Amino acid sequence: MNVLSLVIFLPLAVALGLYAVPGLGARAVTWTWIAACAVDFALVIAMWIGHGTGDGISYETKVRWIPSVSAGYHIGVDGLSLPLLALTSLLFLACAIYSLRQERQVRAFAALFLFLQTVSLGLFAALDLLLFFVFFDLSIVGMYFVIAGWGHGDRMRSALKFFLYTFLGSLALLLGFIGLYLGAEPHTFDMVELTRTPPLAGSTGLAGLVLLAIGIGLAIKTPTVPFHTWLPPAHTDAPAAGSAILAGILLKMGTYGFVRIAMPMLPDAWRRYAWVIIIVGLIGVLYGALVAYAQEDLKRLIAYTSVNHMGYIIVALGAAGALGDQAARRLAVDGAATQMVSHGLITGALFLLAGVLYDRAGTYDMGRFGGLAGRAPVFSALVAVGAFASLGLPGFSGFIAEFQIFAGVIGSGGTGLVVVGALAIPGILITAALFLRLLHRAVLGPPGELTARVTDAHRSELGAVVPLLAPAVVIGVAPRFLLDVIEPASAAVISLVAR
Amino acid sequence: MSILGWLLPAVPIVTGVLLLTGRFVFGRSLDRPAPAIAIGAALVALCLAIAAAMVRPTVQFPLFGRLPAGLAVDGLSAALVLTVTAVSLAVLLFSAGELSPDESRARFFGLMLVFTGAMLVTVTATDLAVLLMGWEVMGAMSYALIGFWWREPRRVSSADISFVTTRAGDLGLYFAAGAALVGTGALSLSDLAAADGPWRDLIAAGVVLAALGKSAQLPFSFWLSRAMDGPSPVSALLHSATMVAAGAYLLLRLEPLLAATGWAATLVAWLGALTALLLGAVALAQRDLKQLLAASTCAQIGFMVLGAGAGAVAGGAAHLVAHAAVKSLLFLGAGAWLSALGTKDLMELHGAARRHRLLGVTFGIGLLALAGAPPLSLWATKDTVLSAAFEHSLPLYAVGLAAALLSAGYAGRALFAVARPIDAMTRTDTEQVGTRHISLLEKLPLPALALGSAALGVFALPLVDEAWRNLLGTGREPGPGPAELALSGALVLLVLALTWVFVRHGGRIRTAWAAPAQHWLHLERLAELLIARPVFTLATALARFDDRVIDGGVRATAATGRLASALAGRRVEVRVDGLVRAIGRGTRRLADLARRPQTGQAHTYYAQAAVLFAVLILIVLLVR
């Protein structure tokens, strides 16, 4: 058993352990949970160091699993998955710390999150489509129980909507995977094999249909317009930690799937339909930002900015399939991969902060707050930092991601892409306006109706949010440590999609 | 000596960030030493700037892929870093005197330091990515500083407007970076002019948009009016050496790019000249001293932008440096009076210069310099720009000259307002309760800035101007001849005299005529009506569309599914189930029938067997 398997299954083992020791108190459960996450995070960092800045897959393991359909337990990491593994283990650690104040059914909550962590880590490490699919589906199941069990408001309905909608997506995805399996000669679910010799190379029509199935499956998970409407209610009614994981990790499963599966395995189809993808992404950028601008509910606002931020990734990945300068397209993919990490950190932090507000006042309605900076200066400072990070201010990771995406998309040089870039850039102006509106209404100005109820951030909340915003600053100021890992992998993606 | 290139922006930024975060660790107790720490950092930054101006450090580092990025101090940057650090030190000294200890001074000084550091990054960056980083952080800091008194919604709105307006311009730089990547294969500022074909035009368009937004040139000027809602020292820094100066700097830096495209140079020159003229008129119509100064900033930056368009890089840079001294001096003076006398209304400031002699004298020097009176600084620097404009086109020169005379008019108006004796109509404390006291720290930077305001024009005068051009590395530029200098000086003095006569006779400009000028050409209203409101309305409409149509579609699909299942359950299922049950009933009945013969009595079985046997025989017989 290599270290990657340990990283993946350690959380699950701890989750089982929590039930094996019956007398454990709530406090002890949470601290065990935190310790497990910390160890897991440390192991991922060690793997990061061990991986270095080369291209190719490291920590590879391949074990027979269902040989009748050539599906194996095949895992490994490269420059695209490693940052996401690090993000996953860090965000789950932050959620564990945040949950120190959790009182309801702590053991089940911790076990569920540990289970989700195993599932998420497994997905990002999976090198077999069936394995990927299993983790993809289990993540939906896990999140369903988080929302239904610990949510608030109309949680059963939101959870059901989330489950059915994304489950439908996963069925489309499975259909696509089966298409890939049947298209490969010999039939296999192995992602490395499928990447090496893209299936369905001869039949453009079938490849297009398979891309459609996979695209719809991943688009629902990402989500892109118009498949995004499960997201706002799921966020609004999920507990804070659940929202953070949903936005920070689960959405990345969609975008990661595009880079890992759709682009390298269906390069022809990806190039052929690049413009469909670019336009879907562009609509997501502008539509997400505009709809977010009009929201009154803090969590819905952040949810819609996620649609906007994911839109940038889709635009960049689409542009990678369009014709144009190779170095520029690589820059766009670098930006997309950076955006996945950046969005996870920043939006994760923002959702945890929204949870603080709900914890104190029981609502996310921005209009009923105001002047929080006086009542809760630390909390307000963190919200302001999160807001500026999310609107892409330089010095934070969002800028590193978005600048690369814009420069890469425009820099590809095609007239169409220049127009797309010019249309996408105003997205950051709208996000700026909406985050300033949020600050103006909730954080600054005279006190509002519910301001008196809000006490400042507790130590556990601080301990959860600061470790998320700090790496966002580090990436924003000195991004090389991250880009050094991403760049070889994105270069590989570009050459794979160009075949 | 690359470490110097790092240290120069790093010292103010790191100190600033430490002050900002330290507040949450040490609490309010950090507010006491904050000014001293900030002034120390600013002093170190000034020393580093002097060293950098001599050593000319260059730093290169990889940022994105293989694209080179870096910081470097060349001639123009050297002039800028000295200006930025010197003005920042002066302003921080003043702030230490003005800001009372019960304000959150750690936050204020922290933000000011990061603001300064971001400007230092901007003026030393050698590529678009790093430049944009400093550029946008500067915008965010100005947001936080304008909204420093965040409890008042109007000030927060002003901060919002400033940030969103300048960021609208910043979008141009993002676009220019992409275009530069295609056109030159890199992001280096020095290569932009050599970009091929249409990409050069696209880069220039993006750069011009960004510069106009940052420098509050037409049509973006209104944000600078709202920026006045910040504390006075913020205005002093924002209007002189940072923020608005960044736009002018960028255009001066990229003058070869503008010239290479042709149209961009002409556009920029005209926009600069028109801003100088129209915002000069706006300044003339203001009653509020700070608003007057703000409008005059737009107008004076207009001269620098005109210089960049007309190819007068050395003249424009000299105007920038001299204006930085003048405008920081004037804003500090206005701020000192606001806190001492509680007013910034020109009508209520009568006698102000006589009550506070040192402030009055230095402020007067600043205003005379702003007016362009010889031999003070802006007289010569502005004429250098104008003579370049003259080479370009005569109408451009005429607009520029008219703008120069307007600046004499508004500066004269402010000068006579504060210099004339106090009268019965003068009221103090119209805005806030004044302290009636100007502290030593507030006075300390004024003489130095006044000296700068008086003397920095030498860079534009014959003899010295060659050294200045050598420093900036620009070629021979048409300078003003003695006749031109004398003529403009005489005209300025004439306008000053006329203004004096006008003011003395209690002259008032007809309000109907002046209304657009008083309201900053209604630009803010126009931006709100034409852009901000329609966008928000669109956003609201889209949000409703999202709820009703897109999510409605999803809900309808789900409802259709439920309906189908209900249908299946009630209609189809009932019948299918009925059939199944009927079969079940039939089977049970058959079973009942089958049970009848099972009596358990031997004679019945015997009888049954006999009957069955008879039937069998019958069948056998019949079939055969």
- B94 pLDDT band, cuts 50/70/90, is very high
pLDDT of residue B510: 63
Distance CA A132, CA B75 (A): 58
For chain B, the helix, strand and coil percentages under 3-state DSSP, each to the nearest 5: 80, 0, 20
- Poorest-confidence range of A164-173, B498-507, B556-565? B498-507
Is some CB atom of chain B closer than 8 A to the CB atom of A404?
Answer: yes
Cβ–Cβ < 8 Å for B320, B83: yes
Is some CB atom of chain A closer than 8 A to the CB atom of B62?
Answer: yes
User: What residues contact residue A21 under an 8 Å CB cut-off, 6+ apart?
Assistant: none
Average confidence (pLDDT) over B571-575:
79
pLDDT higher than threshold 70 for residue A419 = yes
Record: contact A429-B536, CB cut-off 8 A: no
Cβ–Cβ < 8 Å for B137, A393: yes
Measure B536 CA to nearest chain A CA, in Å.
7
Set of chain A residues whose Cβ sits within 8 Å of the Cβ of B187: 407
- B511 pLDDT band, cuts 50/70/90, is low
- Poorest-confidence range of A122-126, B121-125, B417-421? B417-421
User: What residues contact residue B521 under an 8 Å CB cut-off, 6+ apart?
Assistant: B221, B222, B278, B282
- B429 pLDDT band, cuts 50/70/90, is confident
Q: Give the length of chain A.
A: 499
Record: contact B171-A330, CB cut-off 8 A: no
Q: What percent of chain B has pLDDT over 70?
A: 99
- For A425, name the nearest residue in chain B, comparing CA atoms only: B171
Q: Is B60 exposed, middle or buried (0-12, 13-18, 19+ CB in 10 A)?
A: middle
pLDDT higher than threshold 70 for residue A408 = yes
Record: contact B171-A483, CB cut-off 8 A: no
- For B178, name the nearest residue in chain A, comparing CA atoms only: A407
Answer with the residue of higher pLDDT: B20 or B575.
B20
pLDDT of residue B66: 81
Which of residues 232 through 251 in chain B touch A, CB cutoff 8 A?
A: none
Contacts 24+ apart (CB under 8 A), B468-476: B468/B314, B468/B317, B468/B318, B469/B314, B470/B75, B471/B75, B471/B78, B471/B79, B472/B75, B472/B76, B472/B79, B472/B313, B472/B314, B472/B317, B473/B74, B473/B75, B473/B76, B474/B313, B474/B314
- B621 pLDDT band, cuts 50/70/90, is confident
- B21 pLDDT band, cuts 50/70/90, is very high
Measure A158 CA to nearest chain B CA, in Å.
12
Average confidence (pLDDT) over B491-518:
81
Average confidence (pLDDT) over A154-158:
92
Whether this prediction's pTM lies above 0.90 is answered by yes
pLDDT of residue B425: 77
Record: contact A440-B62, CB cut-off 8 A: no
Chain-wide mean pLDDT for chain A?
93
Q: Hey, which residues does A66 pair with through a beta bridge?
A: A71
Q: What is the pLDDT of residues A26-71, one digit of tens each?
A: 889 999 999 999 999 999 999 999 998 888 899 999 998 888 888 8
Chain-wide mean pLDDT for chain B?
90
CB nearest B137 (choices: A226, A394, A479): A394
Cβ–Cβ < 8 Å for B330, B337: no
Task: Evaluate the CA torsion angle A198, A204, A206, A208 in order and state its sign.
Answer: positive
pLDDT higher than threshold 80 for residue B155 = yes
Is some CB atom of chain A closer than 8 A to the CB atom of B64?
Answer: yes
Two tokens, residue A52: 């270095």
Record: contact A413-B182, CB cut-off 8 A: yes
pLDDT of residue B509: 63
Measure A486 CA to nearest chain B CA, in Å.
10
Distance CA A484, CA B252 (A): 35
Q: Is A129 exposed, middle or buried (0-12, 13-18, 19+ CB in 10 A)?
A: buried
User: What residues contact residue B300 under an 8 Å CB cut-off, 6+ apart?
Assistant: B276, B319, B323, B327, B370, B378, B407
Q: What is the pLDDT of residues A262-309, one digit of tens each?
A: 999 999 999 999 999 999 999 999 999 999 999 999 999 999 999 999
Q: What is the pLDDT of residues B439-478, one digit of tens each?
A: 888 888 999 999 999 888 888 877 787 888 888 887 777 7
CB nearest A291 (choices: B187, B543, B558): B543
Task: Evaluate the CA torsion angle A268, A271, A272, A273 in order and state its sign.
Answer: positive
CB nearest A406 (choices: B178, B202, B558): B178
Count CB pairs under 8 A between chains A and B: 153
Residue of A285, A338, A403 to mutate for B, most B C-beta atoms under 10 A: A403
Distance CA B38, CA B36 (A): 5
Record: contact A407-B65, CB cut-off 8 A: no
Set of chain B residues whose Cβ sits within 8 Å of the Cβ of A287: 542, 546
pLDDT higher than threshold 80 for residue B114 = yes
pLDDT of residue B344: 87
CB nearest A293 (choices: B62, B536, B554): B536
Distance CA A435, CA A441 (A): 10
pLDDT higher than threshold 80 for residue A362 = yes
Instruction: DSSP for B556-585, please give it.
Output: HHHHHHHHHHHHIIIIIHHHHHHHHHHHHH
Two tokens, residue B245: 């100066």
Is some CB atom of chain A closer than 8 A to the CB atom of B181?
Answer: yes
pLDDT higher than threshold 90 for residue B517 = no
Q: What is the pLDDT of residues A222-257, one digit of tens each?
A: 999 899 999 999 999 999 999 999 999 999 999 999
Residue of A231, A423, A429 to mutate for B, most B C-beta atoms under 10 A: A429
Residue A24 φ then ψ, to 5° = -70, 130
Is some CB atom of chain B closer than 8 A to the CB atom of A457?
Answer: no
Kind plus residue range of the DSSP H or E element containing B537:
helix B533-545
pLDDT of residue B512: 67
Q: What is the pLDDT of residues B288-308, one digit of tens each?
A: 999 999 999 999 999 999 999
